[in-house]
Amino acid sequence: MRMIVTLSLLMTMLLLTFSPIKGQANPNLGVSAEHAVLMDSESGRVLFEKDAYDSSLIASTTKIMTAIIAIESGKLDEKVEVSGQAVRTEGSSIYLTEDEKIPLRDLVYGLMLRSGNDSAVAIAEHVGGSVEGFTHLMNEKAQWLGMQSSHFENPHGLDGETHFSSAYDLGLLMAYAMKDETFREVTGSEKYLSENRDYAWMNKNKLLTKYYEPTNGGKTGFTKKAGRTLVSSAERDGMELIAVTLNAPDDWNDHQRMYEWGFEHFETVQLQKQGVMEANGQSYYIPRDVSMPLSLLEKEQLEAHFYRYPVDDSSHLAGVAHYSIGDTPLLKTHVWKERPEQGLIEESLNFMKQLTGVSIW
């Protein structure tokens, strides 16, 4: 019975808690990219997009997915024996040698900072048992994250007929990955010295190392067919944004332009605070803090309404709060009758994490 209750609570948390709307392109913000998106990392709100939901080649930005799966495997301190297949992988390399034994953690740094395709294959073979097994994990993760325009056939991003994603999907992936402290440390590092090397690997992401101070992470990519691809994150005044460009000849400037526009026109507004609330003589429980980037005009037009559900003693939910900008829906969050047992919440979240590797929040 407890497992049934736990699963019921789990699905309520997963499916009903938070439903942000998608944004629209701003014609005054020009970018060179064929596909682009700027989104808020915390809420997932899209602030700007240009054909962001169309599938495209993504080159080495693929490695964000490879890295987060490797990190979540719990095997970072294990030694990986490098195969001949990994060493012979074409493209960018960290110059692994066959039968070399190197910590998985070092391979993740080599993957993200130097974009090593040999590192990607070595990671895939160790974590997934084979490249094919690892790509299954990649597609499984993409499905759980809601990356509906994505499919992976390799861990490195070399062009493939069934290897693609969208700017929006990569934004979702980066926002998710940035919630992991180890991933944040890796992607935000300017250099890393492997225990197997006597020289440091320098990060290729010049947005982080040279061009834009608020940058705190990202991944570059390039193939002749995909063009220049770039996923990045930047934080200012407590608001973290994610930018993605695909096939962008001027990607460094595209990202800086999007960030400056986003930071100038939006600020993070707390819409609800976790805890007990009183309304019309009734007590209700808000299960989480919810913040959203809003423009000054949107703040003035923000409306909130609470709709109670019919009385049902078997349900945990009391109703739903709808937030809108004038007549345009913004998001909805569910309100609980009372605070669930803390142990039950933790059990549900841990179960979800073990099952999928995806945290609900």
- Tens of each residue's pLDDT in the chain, 361 residues: 444 444 444 444 433 344 455 555 565 789 999 999 999 999 999 999 999 999 999 999 999 999 999 999 999 999 999 999 999 999 999 999 999 999 999 999 999 999 999 999 999 999 999 999 999 999 999 999 999 999 999 999 999 999 999 999 999 999 999 999 999 999 999 999 999 999 999 999 999 999 999 999 999 999 999 999 999 999 999 999 999 999 999 999 999 999 999 999 999 999 988 888 777 778 888 888 889 999 999 999 999 988 888 876 667 788 888 999 988 898 888 888 888 776 555 555 555 554 444 443 3
Residues 259 and 150 in one domain: yes
Distance (Å, whole) CA 219 – CA 192: 15
Go through 255-265 and write b for each residue having 16 or more CB atoms within 10 A of its CB, e for each that does not. bbbbbebbbeb
Q: CA quadruple 350, 351, 357, 358: dihedral positive or negative?
A: negative
- Let me know whether 109 and 186 are in one domain: yes
Residues 43 and 130 in one domain: yes
The whole-chain average pLDDT of the chain stands at: 88
Are 293 and 221 in the same domain? Answer: no
List Cα–Cα distances, 14 to 21, 45, 101, 294, 328, in angstroms: 17, 17, 40, 24, 24
Is 349 inside any structural domain?
yes
The structural domain count of the chain equals 2
- Asked if the structure places residue 92 within a domain, the reply is yes
Same domain, 10 and 46: no
Residues 274 and 256 both lie in one domain: no
What amino acid positions are annotated as catalytic residues?
60, 63, 115
Q: Do 303 and 188 reside in the same domain of the chain? A: no
Encode pLDDT of 262-273 as tens digits. Answer: 999 999 999 988
Residues 250 and 122 in one domain: yes
Q: Which of 237, 265, 293 is the last residue of a domain?
A: 265
Instruction: Give yes or no: residues 45 and 76 share one domain.
Output: yes
Whether residue 28 is contained in a domain is answered as no
Residue 123 to residue 134: CA distance in whole angstroms: 9
**What pTM was estimated for this model as a whole?**
0.88
Query: Which of the listed residues 265, 294, 320 is the one where a domain comes to its end?
Result: 265
Q: Which of 265, 282, 300 is the last residue of a domain?
A: 265
* CB-based contacts of 347, cutoff 8 Å, min separation 6: 6
Domain span at 195: 35-265
State the CATH number of the domain containing residue 323.
Answer: 2.30.140.30
